[in-house]
Structure 1
Amino acid sequence: MPDPTDTWTLGDVTLTSRLMLAIPEDADITQLADVTRASGLQSATIKTTPAAPGPLQDAVDILRDQGVHILPNTADCQDARAAVTAAHHGAEIVGKPWVKLILTRDREYMVPNPREVVAAATQLISDGFDVYPLITDDPGLAVELEDLGCAGIVPQGSPVGSGQGIANPLKFEIMVDRVTAPVIIGAGIGTVAHACQAMELGCTAVASAQVILRAPDQVAAARALSTAIEAGRASYLARQARKQPAA
C-alpha cells in the first residue's frame, strides 16, 4: 500500500494513491467497484461534456459510491469555447471547479492543439478552475502553462491509445525538473512497466485506461498497475535521497 506520509495534491484534495483511472465512453465498467477497491485508487477522469454525458453516468455513480474523486475531462472538444462550456458542465456534475483540459482535432491519436489549450486554460483559470491540460511532451509549453496558473500538467508519453510508453524520457525529466506543479502522465501507458518508468522519471501520478480496462481480469491488472506505480515512486525517492548531502 502507498506510504500514507507520501502525499500529493489534486486541486484542494490530498491523495496517497498515485494512480488515476481514465475511463473512456466505451469502457467495460462491470468490474469498476472491485477495481477501485483492489487498487486503492482515489481519483479518476471521465468525459462529462454536455453532448453525451449519459453513457458514463453509471461510472460516475460507482466512483462516487467508492469515494473516488472525479476529474471531468473535455474529450471531443475541438476549440476553446467548446472546452470551456464542457468544463463548466463537468463542474456542475461533480460539484468542483476542476478539469482535465483536452483539446484536439485529431480523432485518431488526440494530439493536443496548443493554441486552443492555452486559450481555454486562460479563460478557465479566470473562472476559478483548477486546470490540468493534456499536452504533448513539450517542456516549454509545460512551463508556460504553469506560469499561466495551471494546477498541474498532463503530458502524453506517446499518442493516446498507442500504448507505446514514454517516447522521449529526457523530455519528461526536463519537465519534472522545471515544473513545480504535479506532472501526471496522461497517455501512452500500455503496460505496468511503462507506469513504473514514468514514476521513476519523477512523474507525480499516472493516468491510465487500457492497462486496466482492456485486461480480461481488470481487478488483477489494477492491483499490478498500482504496485508498479508504488515501486517506481519508491525507486525515484531512493535516487533523490542519494542526491542529498550526508548529515
Structure 2
Amino acid sequence: MELDQCRQTWHLGATELTSRLILAIPEGAFLDRLGAILEAGAIQIATIKVSTDLEKAAPGAHAVLREHGVHVLPNTVDAADASEAVRAAHHGAALVGRPWVKLILTQDPEYNVPNPVQLLRAAEQLVRGGFEVFPLVPDDPGPAVELVRIGCAGLMPQGSPAGSGQGIANPLKFRLILDRVDVPVLAGAGIGTVADACQALETGCTGVASARVVFAAYDQVRAARALADAVAAGHLARQAAEQSA
C-alpha cells in the first residue's frame, strides 16, 4: 500500500489534518519554489515567526499559502519573557485570524532551549484568553504534564536544540512524555534528516515540525517529498508495531 494511502485524519486543536508534517519557515528562507515545496510535502500547516515579513522576503508567499490551503501557525521565537510572548501571540492571532500559537519562549537565542518558568506563565495567560497553545518544551515529562494540565492543546518537545539537526537525542524521555499526556505530541525541533523524522513517528509522536531538512537542501522540493514520505513511513511502522503487540 502506498504511503499516501495510509494517511489518517487527526486533530491539532480544532484543525483536522491528514499530513503529520508541519513546515517551519525560517526567516530569510529562499521561497521561490514555495508552491512546489508545499505540494511535494503535502503541507497543511506552516509555522512562521510572528514578526516575519513574508511579503518582503518573498512577494506573493501569503497568496501561495492560501492557494494551497495551508494553515499558518504563528510562533513567538525571540520572545524574551512571558509578557513579550503573550503580546506576540495576540499579534499573530490578528494576522492569521485565529487564536492559536506555537509558543516559543527562551533566553537562548542560538538553540531556543525553552525556559519552563516563563513558558508556564505565558501558556496560562494564553489558555485563559481562549488560545490553542502548542508550546516548544524541553524533553522533560514534568513541564510537559504541567502544560497539558493547564490546558495546552498539544506539545512540541525538542528532540535536540533547535537548528542542531541532531534528531531525538533521548527517545526514552519522549516516550515518557507520550505515556503521560493525552494531547498531540510533535517533535518540535532538532529534526535534521528524514531518518530523524521517521524515528520521531516510530517513537510515537503524532507528527514533526521541521525547517532544516527542506531549507538546507540543494533540491528543496525533493527534500520536502522525502520528508513527507519519511513521516508517513514512521507512522505506518508505529501502527504495525502497535497492532502486533
For 1:170, the equivalent position in structure 2 comes to 172
Would you identify which runs of 4 or more consecutive aligned residues in structure 1 move more than 2 Å?
Answer: 1-5, 52-62
CA contact (8 A) 1:105 1:113 kept: yes
In the alignment, the residues of structure 1 paired with residue 4 and residue 85 of structure 2 have an alpha-carbon distance, to the nearest angstrom, of 34
1:128-139 → structure 2 map (5 Å cutoff)? 128-139=130-141
1:94-243 → structure 2 map (5 Å cutoff)? 94-243=96-245
Distance 1:21 1:214, change over 3 A: same
Q: CA offset at residue 5 of structure 1?
A: 6.2
CA contact (8 A) 1:2 1:17 kept: no
For 1:61, the equivalent position in structure 2 comes to 63
Which of 22, 28, 31 pairs up with 1:29? 31
1:28-74 Cα deviation digits (max 9, x unpaired): 1111110111111111100113xx54646743332122110111000
In the alignment, the residues of structure 2 paired with residue 95 and residue 39 of structure 1 have an alpha-carbon distance, to the nearest angstrom, of 24
Distance 1:56 1:237, change over 3 A: farther
Q: CA offset at residue 2 of structure 1?
A: 3.5
In the alignment, the residues of structure 2 paired with residue 98 and residue 169 of structure 1 have an alpha-carbon distance, to the nearest angstrom, of 28
Task: Tell me the secondary structure at the aligned position of residue 201 of structure 2.
Answer: helix
Matched, 1:74 2:76: yes
Distance 1:85 1:30, change over 3 A: same
1:91-144 Cα deviation digits (max 9, x unpaired): 111111000000111111111111110000000001000000001101111111
For 2:46, the equivalent position in structure 1 comes to 44
CA contact (8 A) 1:131 1:151 kept: yes
Cα RMSD for the two superposed structures: 1.4
In the alignment, the residues of structure 1 paired with residue 189 and residue 7 of structure 2 have an alpha-carbon distance, to the nearest angstrom, of 27
Give the AA of the match of 1:108: E
Distance 1:242 1:190, change over 3 A: same
In the alignment, the residues of structure 1 paired with residue 25 and residue 53 of structure 2 have an alpha-carbon distance, to the nearest angstrom, of 13
5+ residue gaps, structure 1, are: none
Task: Tell me the secondary structure at the aligned position of residue 233 of structure 1.
Answer: helix
Question: TM-score, length-normalised on structure 1?
Answer: 0.94
Task: Tell me the secondary structure at the aligned position of residue 235 of structure 1.
Answer: helix
Q: CA offset at residue 155 of structure 1?
A: 0.3
Q: CA offset at residue 23 of structure 1?
A: 0.6
Q: CA offset at residue 4 of structure 1?
A: 6.6
Distance 1:240 1:11, change over 3 A: same
CA contact (8 A) 2:188 2:209 kept: yes
Give the AA of the match of 2:195: A
Task: Tell me the secondary structure at the aligned position of residue 45 of structure 1.
Answer: strand
5+ residue gaps, structure 2, are: none
CA contact (8 A) 1:46 1:73 kept: yes
1:133-181 Cα deviation digits (max 9, x unpaired): 0011011111111111000000000000000011101011111111110
CA contact (8 A) 1:190 1:211 kept: yes
For 2:88, the equivalent position in structure 1 comes to 86
Task: Tell me the secondary structure at the aligned position of residue 24 of structure 2.
Answer: strand
